[in-house]
């Protein structure tokens, strides 16, 4: 059956949250169902509320955690915090004070539920299909894996949501990315999203909301879908979304903040009905054959500079930004990327720190040691992921291999919490950004899947994980 | 926010494309609870050697750049992190606009809320500005026109409401708060509750 005005998934969630529709002169007033906050991008917003004598309008729709500037060594006291620096310690104290004063729930250091903001939302069941979700963090796109409209905002907008539970927004354009076929063994959601960014470019999604569709996406578990949606922003997109299905429902069932009883049945009915109309129009479309992909790594200083791990580094003569990136990375066109020696391996971040990520890495590392001279950090995405991993004995596999096993947090993804890659050192990282200096001043970052990162730790150079599949 | 109607200044040029917000203000400087004082660390790792001395070749360190309030940058400026510290740092340093052929969505939104002008122009005018650092240009926010030294005018887009807020110096929070009745009605009448 065709509908009169067929809508995409994004257009449906958008329409469902319009308090006031947009006009030529004014943007729409969009209602926000879940506001996640953390210590780095909120202090100035709370200062504004104090200055204007405003309350947090819906503390019940606001949830705070601490992840960015917090250390991943065990922290219980102010003295531990001060190790990372006075600024970070002050920021954490400010977060505690702000949440207390404005009545916002904070998953503090002592909380069993604390973790990276984009890991805890889904694992608590606070992230749900059809919701609008924002956070002062660009990787908020992660939550789109559930069919939520989720995007990163600046601190001024954090203030807007705290005060009014709404944002002023223009409707974005739509972009369908269809992934046909099935990913082959050793090829993960991370490899897929790196390949997508490589194809559409780091600005290919600017002004658009992406919807990922097709059989490879349908076959993917929720953690893989989160990895894909997480990096939508690295293609410049406002958000990334995937229509909810049985996989989504199964994931959310019995989560602490999922609806229960009759409310669960009603929610499931509503969630399963939430999908784009068959004949909905997209402003842009791309189709990718998932079955043709191999494990991918980055070789430059943005997430669009990607290549298969088994290939030689490409060349773009005459492109100054390309040349500058390769100079920074100390990589020469034509060299096999696997010849690159590795100093640091980081497994963690909101992209790849969930239990399946840790399992995939542990499967490669079981019974093996990391190469001499390599430092490896494994940082679970939340305290819950940490407990689950320990119950499965994954921590022992990593520690026995010579890696460090940490408390949850953003850690080495962004070098502002004490975990950094030293200048000039090469890091293979499961995080999302290989920008210059992102992991520390002068750090050289190769983005990869957890399996590729683990294989690289074992071999001491950038390595294809596929040879480890049969033995693991 | 102070009103911004016109801006006339010389330009300073950073030709790289995809300049991300980690370059504009590295994450280690985000452990602040204030909006002020970020300018000293703007482009820190491009401006300074590890010993803290300025890198003479970096355009913002050159004499030509002194007093220039307009940055001309390569395509896709401001990509990456949502940190509003990026426009805060640019403004605190003394810059008031960036001209490029493409500006990342979140950076653009943050910039507009602070009166920092994100100006997207066509490739021909952009390529002229990249090749001629230091030239005087003027930006007319009301008419959405950029005037080049030879008098040639090029247009740029700014969303209507953001333009109105720039011209009148209006803070968007006040506008949102005026919708309180509609917000309450939405909360009461929506078919499901979050």
Cα–Cα distance, A137 to A12 (Å, whole number)? 24
Nearest CB neighbour to B45, from listed A26, A88, A436: A436
Helices and strands counted in chain B (H then E):
8, 7
Nearest CB neighbour to A324, from listed B16, B173, B190: B16
DSSP letter (8 states) at residue B71:
E
The whole-number pLDDT of residue A88 equals 86
Return left, alpha or beta for A57; rule: phi > 0 is left, psi -120 to 50 is alpha, else beta. alpha
A85 falls in which pLDDT band (50, 70, 90)? confident
Candidates A422, A459, A449, A416; CA nearest to A185 is A449
A136 in Cβ contact with A42 (< 8 Å): yes
Candidates A409, A442, A414; CA nearest to A107 is A409
| Whether the model pTM is above 0.95 | yes
A472 falls in which pLDDT band (50, 70, 90)? very low
Question: Does the distance separating the beta carbons of A90 and B31 come in below 8 Å?
Answer: yes
Q: Is A116 on the interface with B (CB under 8 A)?
A: no
The whole-number pLDDT of residue A83 equals 64
CB atoms within 10 A of CB A112: 11
A357 in Cβ contact with A346 (< 8 Å): no
pLDDT in tens, A207-250: 999 999 999 999 999 999 999 999 999 999 999 999 999 999 99
Question: Does the distance separating the beta carbons of A91 and B32 come in below 8 Å?
Answer: yes
Q: Can you give the length of chain B in residues?
A: 194
Nearest chain A residue (CA) to B188: A19
* High-pLDDT (> 90) share of chain B, %: 96
Say what the alpha-carbon torsion angle A315, B74, A177, A291 is, to the nearest 10 degrees.
10
Coil, strand or helix at A189: helix
Which residue carries 């004490």 as its tokens? A418
Cα–Cα distance, A340 to A100 (Å, whole number)? 49
Asked whether the predicted pLDDT for residue A471 surpasses 70, the reply is no
Asked whether the predicted pLDDT for residue A76 surpasses 70, the reply is no
Say if residue A222 is exposed, middle or buried (CB neighbours under 10 Å; 0-12, 13-18, 19+): buried
Asked whether the predicted pLDDT for residue A399 surpasses 80, the reply is yes
pLDDT in tens, B85-137: 999 999 999 999 999 999 999 999 999 999 999 999 999 999 999 999 999 99
Q: Which two tokens stand for residue A280?
A: 């909905």
Interhelix angle A394-401/A355-365, rounded to 10 degrees, is: 50
Question: Does the distance separating the beta carbons of B104 and A321 come in below 8 Å?
Answer: no
Helices and strands counted in chain A (H then E):
16, 19
Coil, strand or helix at A152: strand
Half-sphere exposure of A93 (CA within 13 A, CB side): 13
Cα–Cα distance, A311 to B73 (Å, whole number)? 32
A221 in Cβ contact with A202 (< 8 Å): no
Map A232-270 to HEC letters.
HHHHCECEEECCCCHHHHHHHCCCCCCCCCHHHHHHHHH
First to last CA, chain B: 33
pLDDT in tens, A175-208: 999 999 999 999 999 999 999 999 999 999 999 9
pLDDT in tens, A273-302: 999 999 999 999 999 999 999 999 999 999
For residues B170-182, give the mean pLDDT.
95
Residues on chain A touching B189 (C-beta within 8 angstroms): none
Nearest CB neighbour to A88, from listed B31, B179, B183: B31
pLDDT in tens, A20-74: 999 999 999 999 999 999 999 999 999 999 999 999 999 999 999 999 988 898 7
Nearest chain B residue (CA) to A301: B18
Smallest Cα distance from B15 to chain A, Å: 8
Smallest Cα distance from B94 to chain A, Å: 20
Question: Does the distance separating the beta carbons of A414 and B27 come in below 8 Å?
Answer: yes
CA angle (A140 as vertex; A147, A51 as ends), nearest 5? 125
Cα–Cα distance, A116 to A470 (Å, whole number)? 33
Cβ neighbors of A181 (< 8 A, separation 6 or more) are A215, A216, A289, A290, A291, A292
Smallest Cα distance from A181 to chain B, Å: 30
Coil, strand or helix at B3: coil
Nearest CB neighbour to A20, from listed B15, B45, B182: B182
Nearest CB neighbour to A87, from listed B32, B106, B164: B32
Question: Does the distance separating the beta carbons of B83 and A154 come in below 8 Å?
Answer: yes
The whole-number pLDDT of residue A109 equals 84
A135 in Cβ contact with A35 (< 8 Å): yes
Coil, strand or helix at A5: coil
A162 falls in which pLDDT band (50, 70, 90)? very high
Cα–Cα distance, A120 to B122 (Å, whole number)? 43
Nearest CB neighbour to A91, from listed B16, B17, B31: B31
ipTM over 0.90: yes
Residues on chain A touching B79 (C-beta within 8 angstroms): 202-203, 236, 302
Cα–Cα distance, A176 to A178 (Å, whole number)? 6
What is the rounded average pLDDT for all residues in chain B?
97
H helix or E strand, kind and range, residue A289 = strand A284-289
Residues on chain B touching A136 (C-beta within 8 angstroms): 82, 84
Say what the alpha-carbon torsion angle A425, A431, A434, A437 is, to the nearest 10 degrees.
-60
Smallest Cα distance from B151 to chain A, Å: 30
Alpha carbon of residue A267 to chain centroid: 25
Candidates A210, A101, A236; CA nearest to A145 is A210
Cβ neighbors of A321 (< 8 A, separation 6 or more) are B16, B17, B18, B74
The whole-number pLDDT of residue A174 equals 98
Cα–Cα distance, B159 to A28 (Å, whole number)? 12
Question: Does the distance separating the beta carbons of A47 and B113 come in below 8 Å?
Answer: no
pLDDT in tens, A425-436: 999 999 999 999
Q: State the pairing for strand pair A344-347/B6-14.
A: unpaired
Residues on chain A touching B175 (C-beta within 8 angstroms): 26, 168
The whole-number pLDDT of residue A89 equals 87
């Amino acid at each position: 059956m065709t509908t009169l005005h067929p809508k995409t998934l994004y257009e449906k969630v958008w329409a469902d949250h319009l308090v006031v529709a947009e006009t030529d002169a004014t943007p729409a007033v969009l209602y926000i169902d879940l506001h996640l906050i953390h210590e780095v991008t909120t202090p100035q917003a709370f200062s504004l509320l104090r200055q204007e004598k405003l309350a947090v309008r819906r503390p019940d729709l606001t949830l705070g955690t601490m992840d960015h500037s917090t250390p991943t060594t065990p922290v219980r006291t102010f003295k531990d915090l001060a190790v990372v620096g006075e600024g970070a310690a002050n920021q954490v104290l400010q977060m505690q004070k702000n949440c207390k004063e404005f009545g916002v729930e904070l998953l503090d250091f002592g909380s069993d539920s604390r973790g990276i903001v984009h890991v805890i939302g889904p694992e608590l069941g606070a992230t749900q299909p059809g919701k609008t979700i924002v956070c002062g963090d660009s990787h908020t796109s992660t939550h789109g894996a559930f069919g939520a409209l989720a995007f990163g905002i600046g601190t001024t907008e954090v203030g807007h949501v705290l005060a009014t539970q709404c944002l002023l927004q223009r409707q974005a354009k739509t972009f369908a990315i269809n992934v046909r076929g099935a990913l082959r063994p050793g090829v993960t959601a991370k490899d897929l999203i790196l390949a997508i960014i490589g194809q559409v470019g780091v600005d290919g999604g600017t002004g658009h909301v992406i919807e990922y569709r097709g059989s490879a996406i349908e076959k993917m578990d929720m953690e893989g879908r989160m990895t894909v949606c997480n990096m939508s922003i690295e293609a410049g997109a406002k958000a990334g979304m995937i229509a909810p299905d049985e996989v989504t429902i199964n994931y959310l069932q019995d989560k602490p903040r999922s609806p229960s009883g009759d409310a669960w049945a009603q929610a499931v009915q509503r969630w399963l009905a939430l999908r784009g109309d068959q004949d909905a129009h997209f402003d842009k479309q791309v189709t990718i054959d998932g079955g043709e992909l191999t494990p991918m790594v980055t070789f430059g200083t943005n997430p669009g500079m990607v290549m298969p791990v088994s290939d030689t580094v490409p060349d773009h003569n005459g492109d100054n930004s390309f040349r500058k990136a390769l100079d920074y990375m100390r990589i020469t066109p034509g060299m096999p990327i696997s010849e690159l020696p590795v100093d640091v391996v980081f497994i963690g971040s909101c992209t790849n720190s969930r239990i399946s990520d840790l399992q995939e890495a542990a499967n490669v590392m079981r019974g093996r040691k990391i190469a001499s001279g390599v430092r490896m950090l494994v940082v679970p995405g939340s305290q819950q992921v940490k407990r689950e991993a320990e119950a499965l004995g994954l921590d022992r596999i990593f520690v026995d291999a010579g890696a460090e096993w940490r408390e949850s947090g953003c850690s080495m993804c962004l070098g502002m919490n004490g975990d950094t890659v030293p200048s000039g050192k090469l890091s293979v990282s499961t995080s999302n950004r290989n920008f210059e200096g992102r992991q520390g001043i002068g750090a050289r970052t190769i983005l990869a899947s957890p399996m590729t990162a683990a294989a690289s730790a074992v071999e001491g150079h950038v390595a294809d994980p596929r040879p480890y599949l049969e033995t693991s | 926010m102070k009103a911004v109607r016109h801006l006339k200044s010389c330009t300073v040029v950073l030709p790289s494309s995809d300049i991300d917000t980690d370059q504009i203000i590295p994450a280690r400087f985000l452990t602040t609870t204030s909006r002020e004082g970020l300018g000293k660390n703007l482009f820190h790792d491009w401006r300074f050697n590890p010993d803290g001395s300025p890198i003479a070749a970096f355009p913002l360190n050159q004499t030509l750049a002194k007093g220039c309030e307009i940055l001309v940058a390569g395509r896709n400026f401001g990509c990456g992190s949502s940190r509003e510290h990026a426009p805060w740092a640019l403004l605190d340093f003394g810059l008031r606009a960036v001209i490029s052929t493409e500006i990342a969505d979140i950076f653009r939104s943050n910039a507009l809320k602070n009166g920092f002008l994100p100006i997207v122009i066509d490739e021909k005018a952009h390529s002229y500005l990249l090749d001629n650092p230091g030239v005087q240009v003027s930006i007319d926010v009301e008419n959405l026109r950029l005037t080049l030294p030879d008098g040639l005018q090029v247009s740029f887009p700014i969303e209507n409401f953001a333009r109105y807020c720039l011209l009148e110096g209006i803070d968007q929070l006040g506008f949102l708060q005026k919708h309180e009745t509609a917000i309450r009605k939405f909360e009461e009448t929506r078919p499901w509750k979050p």
